Structure formats: structure tokens, C-alpha cells
Structure 1
């Protein structure tokens, strides 16, 4: 919980209608918005410079330059996911940088994105948020150079990040092949634990530690193993992101529910009903294209839990990441969950 210099105790999560990546526009609604967006719009790309763009739904845009590395661009921001402003800034920065790592790139420079209810919350809290973002960017070796701020009824923070990547070694969401194992570099459960934190004020340091841990090592391990397909697991949950990857790759993603790791306390938070609306929408989105008959509704909700700054889902094996499933030839369903 935050304490201002005047001694007032402020819970940032109470100033937002939701928290973290659970506040994303539901995936089905977002796809409806984006469908056909570029129809009739002339796009000049005679040299094939746009390696990854709007249609692929990947984590970051990749533009090939004439010589040397390709340029990555991405952005991410959200409402408070924890009450501590410094931790919120660290989590939001790690989450924004994750899109670069999920594409196999290296972040170079970030711009802050800050929305603040200037007449409601003191600016000293905003300063702590920015300090947290700066700390994580420094850990990533990424410069922070300014940004943009607006007066807003809800506090929001994130970053727009530019990076570089070898254009011949881009990790993509549409490059999955049958027979590839699926590895997950971070345990699930941040969604239900964050919801419990918002409801009760209880702090979960291990969840904060997971959310602030960069995906850099997982990305480097994937590239070293020759992996070509990966994505990060954030607001659409493991099921949502596995579904997107499998659909784009023309395969079926099979998830072994017994192999999926969870943060301590996640199952208890689920039993107590701390499930976000975003998690429930994730499950409904994939249900029509999935075989979930092998697991209970509660287990399916955990697998669909809307993560904030989650790990990488890698179509390959990497050190330290459990194998949680595999890609198979496309069957009757895009996504299958087994016990």
C-alpha cells in the first residue's frame, strides 16, 4: 500500500475499474474491430520491408531495413495491478518490454506513457511509478527518453518501446510446426492473485517478482535452440495465446493441464472467487474452437487466467521452462486440453 509524504495511505488499485492486462479489450471484440481494417487502404511495401505487421497479430511490428538489423516497435500500458506505485511501474515496464523479447529482439529505447488523475492522486505517486519503470528499463539495457502524459480519470502507465532484431531470426506466432513441444517460461496465476490483492489488499511478493522478471533469458534461450515460434502469455491467458498461435500456424495446440505450473496461492484465490471478467471472456472466446472436456470449469478458468507480464510460450524446449504441451497437425479443434 502506498503512503504519501503527508501520511495518507492510498490503494492505487481502487482508482481503476480493473487491473493490468485483465483490462484488455476482449479478444473476440478486438478482432472484430481490426477485421478488414486495411481493406482499400493503399500500402506501399515494394521491398517487403514489413516483416510482421497488422495481419499476423504478433507481439510487435518488425520492419526490415536495407542493411543490418530490423526495427521492432511495440507499446503496452494499463491501469494499476498492485497498490505499490513503484512495483506497478516495474511491472508495466517489464510487460511492455516483453513484446520485444517475444519477437526475439533487443530493446533500445522506450518512451513513457502516463495517464494521471491530477486532481485526485498526488504526483509524488506518479514519480514513483516512473521510477519503477526506469529501474526495469535500466536492467534491460534500454534507454528511457521522455514520453507523453495526459490528465485522465483513471491512472494508467506503460511504455512505447523500440528495439532491433535479426530479420532472419524473428520469433513469430505463425511459425509453429507439428511435433514441436510447447514450453512455458513463467508459472500462471498472476491474474487471480492480482484480483485477490485488489479485493483484500493482501500483498503477494512472489507474484510481483514473477511479473517484474524480464523475459530476456527465455528469449535468448529460444534463439539459441533454433526456435522460430513463440509468443508471450499476457491478457488473453495461456489458452487464448496458445489458440492464437495454433490458429495462425495452421496446427492444433495440445495443452497438458497437469504439467502447467502455478504460483503459490493461485488455486486458493480461484476457490475464493477472485476471477476477473477478462479471464471469463478469454475462456468464452476459445471455447467454441476447443476441446476442454478433460478438465473442470475451474481448471479451464485457471488456464485462461488473464496474466500480467507473463512468460513466453515457446514452440520448442528451453532450459528451466517446463514442457506444457505440444503442437500437432490440425484436427477438429484448434486447441485441446488434456489431463
Structure 2
């Protein structure tokens, strides 16, 4: 069963026009907005800003220390308030891990329709987020709240790292292998939840994936065979893969049959359970992606499916990939696998 039987009135998802990372602005819209912002590069200590659409900002304090900062928040993709808080917090902390850092504290971001939701429901959202922060070993040290038309929750997260262990989405090298640590299909599952049509066991599977911290990123960053990391969220596998390709000036080749999927993602996609964000994603970056001839729409929509609290996309030396996949699986990511390769060439993504 899905979580529609949770006694929440009204349902959280009924109060939101979108949910999870599917709420993100389309990549094309975001690019237009950012193009009008002043460049941040005159600050010599700013190692990572907006230049390659990376996961977090990084400020170098000295030769041994960087501060990593990020924020992420969205509207609910599930109706259970505690689960909403857990998913949103896991997703926000992921950006720190994707840079190779370790989180040290978080600030809560909360917007709620006070006249429509009882205080105990809102408190459960906060409790869910705090429980994930406790699992990550960090405090929720403050935050900010507003009365809003739709429910919104997330975190601003601060982390630390070593400059030599910083891993960017622009670090991929020709000859590398590509590894993905979690299964694809979260947006498709959330579409089924909104229509109360997610089959038995699907909710538990999705929750296990979206609340699994990407803490393996901090460990992988100390391995010299790992060259680049990004997390796969609202722009889908193809979108975040294209950001890596453009940032690194390389071609990513993805083997479509190697991409791990949540157990019911393919069947649900074929039945039409997709989000509007999948279509917006494709419209935004299709010029940078080559699909195989005859690729069915449902397959394309899986590859553009917005992932809330998705896995890490890792670029590593090819000879190290099998051992790294084994190490990642042993650390608690059972769907991790190699999904492609990186070659010199036009910055683009090729799906085979």
C-alpha cells in the first residue's frame, strides 16, 4: 500500500501543485535567470560558485580547510508529514556529500499554510527532518518559517572539507567509468502516489531510497581514482549527466540497460505515470542528448525523471570501477552499478 491511508486531512500533496525535486525550475529557465546574475569569480577564495551548476558553493579558508554551503527545499511528494521531512532533509544534506565534504550543521526552511494544517502535522515535518540530521550527526541549529500558500520544507546545510578532496561535477576525465549509486524512478513513483495508484511495496521502496544518506560521497572523495561526483536530483539522470559533460568538456555515454531502476519504475512509466518535470527537463536539454534510434517515450521519460534525494553520479578511473561498485554496495547502496563511460569529444550525453 502507499501512504494515502495516513490520517492527514487535507493530504499534503493536495496542497501543492508539485512535489519533491520535480518542483525545480526547468533547466532552461534557471539558465536564463542565472545568466543575468553578476559573476562571483572575483572572490579568489570562492573555489566553486555557479559556473558549472555544481551541487554546493565552496569557500577556501586555508590550505587545509574549505567551507561548503548549500540549500534545498521543496513541496511534499508524500502525505505522511514525518516522511516528507525525512526525504527533504536527506535531499538537502546530499549536496555536501556530493562535493566530498562532511556536514556539520543545518538550518530549517519552513513555509506552511497555517490555516489549513494543524500544528501537530507541521511539527511532524520538522521532527522528520531533525531525525535525519541526527542520523547524519549534525544539529538543526536554527532556521526560518513563514505562512505560505503551499507546504514547503528543506534545509540550508553547512559542511567542511579538504581542498584536495573536493570533488566537482567538472572533474570527469576521458577514459573514466560512470557509476550511479541509487535506482531511478522516484518521480514516477511520486506521480503514482498523487493518483493513489502506487502498487503494494512501492512506497516502502521509494522511502528507503529517498531517506538513504549519500554519505558514501565523503569517503569516495579521499580516493584518487574518483575524479568527479554530482548528485542526481530534479533534472534527472540525463540533465545532471549533461551538466557533468559540459563542466568537464567530455562526452558521457550511458548504457540504457545498465541504469538501475526502482522495481516498478519501468511498468509505471509504460502506464503513463510521469511528472510534468520530465517533459520540461527534456525540452530544456534535448539538444545536448543523443538517444538511440527508436527509443520509446517511456524510456526517455525514465532518463529525464526528476529524482528527489537521488543517488550520486561518479566519474572514476575505469580500472577502479569494479572495486568501487563493490565498495559502494557494501556500504549500503545495493543498486549501485557502472552505467557508462567517458570519452574526449563534444560536451554531450549519448545514450546507447
TM-score norm. by structure 1 comes to 0.93
Task: State the Cα distance separating 1:36 from its structure 2 match.
Answer: 4.1
Task: State the Cα distance separating 1:67 from its structure 2 match.
Answer: 5.2
- Does 2:174 match 1:171? no
- Does 2:210 match 1:211? yes
Gaps of 5+ in 2: 330-335
In 2: Cα distance, 1:213 partner to 1:281 partner: 27
- DSSP 3-state at the match of 1:228: strand
- Does 2:333 match 1:334? no
Within-5 A mapping of 1:307-326: 307-316=307-316, 317=321, 318=324, 319=327, 320=329, 321-326=336-341
Cross-structure match for 1:149: 145
In 2: Cα distance, 1:293 partner to 1:226 partner: 30
In 1: Cα distance, 2:296 partner to 2:116 partner: 43
Q: Deviation per CA, 1:256-295, whole angstroms, max 9, x where unpaired? A: 0010010011112212211111111112222112211343
Task: State the Cα distance separating 1:210 from its structure 2 match.
Answer: 0.1
In 1: Cα distance, 2:4 partner to 2:262 partner: 24
Evaluate the alpha carbon distance shift between residue 83 and residue 24 of structure 1 in structure 2; reply closer, same or farther with a 3 A threshold.
Answer: same
- DSSP 3-state at the match of 1:64: strand
Gaps of 5+ in 1: none
Decide whether the 8 Å contact of 1:3 with 1:10 is kept in 2.
no
Task: State the Cα distance separating 1:14 from its structure 2 match.
Answer: 0.9
* Number of aligned residues: 331
- Does 2:86 match 1:90? yes
Cross-structure match for 1:194: 190
Q: Deviation per CA, 1:226-265, whole angstroms, max 9, x where unpaired? A: 3131100000000000001001110011000010010011
Within-5 A mapping of 1:1-339: 1=3, 9-38=9-38, 44-45=42-43, 48-66=44-62, 68-200=64-196, 202=198, 204-224=203-223, 226-294=225-293, 295-316=295-316, 317=321, 318=324, 319=327, 320=329, 321-331=336-346, 334-338=348-352
TM-score norm. by structure 2 comes to 0.90
In 1: Cα distance, 2:97 partner to 2:188 partner: 25
Q: Deviation per CA, 1:143-173, whole angstroms, max 9, x where unpaired? A: 1111000000000000000000111111101
In 1: Cα distance, 2:221 partner to 2:278 partner: 28
- DSSP 3-state at the match of 1:168: helix
Task: State the Cα distance separating 1:205 from its structure 2 match.
Answer: 0.6
Decide whether the 8 Å contact of 2:189 with 2:265 is kept in 1.
yes
Evaluate the alpha carbon distance shift between residue 163 and residue 209 of structure 1 in structure 2; reply closer, same or farther with a 3 A threshold.
Answer: same
Task: State the Cα distance separating 1:2 from its structure 2 match.
Answer: 7.7
Decide whether the 8 Å contact of 2:235 with 2:305 is kept in 1.
yes
In 2: Cα distance, 1:204 partner to 1:179 partner: 38
Task: State the Cα distance separating 1:217 from its structure 2 match.
Answer: 1.9
In 1: Cα distance, 2:104 partner to 2:287 partner: 40
Task: State the Cα distance separating 1:54 from its structure 2 match.
Answer: 1.9
Task: State the Cα distance separating 1:180 from its structure 2 match.
Answer: 0.5
Task: State the Cα distance separating 1:192 from its structure 2 match.
Answer: 0.1
Decide whether the 8 Å contact of 1:170 with 1:228 is kept in 2.
no
In 1: Cα distance, 2:25 partner to 2:268 partner: 23
